[in-house]
A = this chain, B = another copy of it.
Amino acid sequence: MSLNLQTHTEHFTNPLYLESGRILEPYDIAYETYGTLNEDKSNVVVICHALTGSHHCAGVYEGENKPGWWDGLIGPNKAVDTNKFFVICTNVIGSCFGSTGPMSPKHPHHEPYRYKFPVVTIKDMVKAQRILFDKLDIHRVHAIIGGSMGGMQALLFAIHYPNFAQKIISLAATHATQPWAIAFNKVAQEAILKDPDFKEGYYEPELLKEHGLSGMAIGRMAGHISFLSHESMEKKFGRAYKKDDGLYELFGKFQVESYLEYNSYNFTKWFDPLSYLYITKAINIFDLSRGFDSLAEAMKKVQAQLHLISFKNDMLFKNFEMKEISDTLDTIGNKNHTYLDIESDYGHDAFLVELDKFDTYIKEVLHG
């Protein structure tokens, strides 16, 4: 059977009431579906994307080569089997792939919002998805799965929409963003803000895509360090030096430098810097216990079967951050959760690249 990839954009005229007290109105949500919705709508699996991800999580667009970001996990006969499940992935608000974000035209004058865009939280992103699903007449789903910022969304679904999902899987996330992750984001934010080509937010997006924004590339380099691990860098690069470069040339390069340059500058051609500022802000202020007296009080809301997965060498969201959620669930007597700490050399990136370490587990959860 085919993947049955479909891309849609849904327009909302009702205001989205944000956690900050501000509103977003009107707004669009871009989303993608795979597989086929069954008659009783009992086969929906929601996928939540990370900071720079999009709704394109599986399959390959016509005329392109690069598959969706979780293509190894989602498709016919894969762990998230599209022969069986109807998979939905939405682009979060604040992002730049079709859902309303800072460079979207602001009603009514159609100029981009830029800094007039309100700060959105990850809870707001989840709320917007919940409203989309309502519009699609989907009121309960089989499962929600997400990694990194997607894992934060999955956890917020568990707390704020306790009857919405039967099973929730959160990978490589945290209960509240810790200072090291905020520090890595700070490097990126500062580098973007101080780049004169960013023009204090008044850049021409098409020009940026053409030339790249070195400030965002520099920030992305810091990001890459946090996504990798000492072990993966050792294996991937070691001290290999570019063969045509002289060791005593000031600008001679190690392979790791070359990797960082290539990937980071390339990144600036497909991601919007204002979206980067807004989404990293959302990640920084993410805290499951906000609005509750404690994390334990928040976790008491959870009704779904909750599966927590961490990666041992994750430098961005340390494995103990996920374990703290599991320990909290134990403390309040929740018997309906699992916690798995996966051995991986890949650090945070493991949730994207080392699928064979957890795809069987996800398959079992979905079918269990």
Contact = CB atoms under 8 A, between A and B. Distances in A.
Contacts of A142: none
Contacts of A256: 179, 182-183, 186
A184 B224 CA distance: 10
Interface in A193-216: 194-196, 214-215
Contacts of A239: 176-179, 182, 287
Given A183-B256, A248-B285, A250-B278, 5 more contacts: A182-B257, A183-B221, A190-B261, A191-B218, A250-B277
Nearest to A256: B179
A250 B186 contact: no
List the number of copies, as a whole number: 2
A356 interface: no
Which range holds the interface residue count of chain A? 35 or more
Interface in A217-251: 217-219, 221-222, 224-225, 228, 230, 233-234, 236-239, 247-250
Contacts of A250: 115, 119, 277-278, 281
A254 B179 contact: yes
Contact of A230 (B180, B196, B224, B248): B180
A260 B115 contact: no
Q: Most chain-B Cβ atoms within 10 A of its Cβ — which of A179, A184, A281?
A: A179
Contact of A257 (B118, B186, B215, B228): B186
A170 interface: no
A153 interface: no
B218 A187 contact: yes
Given A215-B194, A239-B287, A250-B119, A233 B281 contact: no
Contacts of A285: 247-248
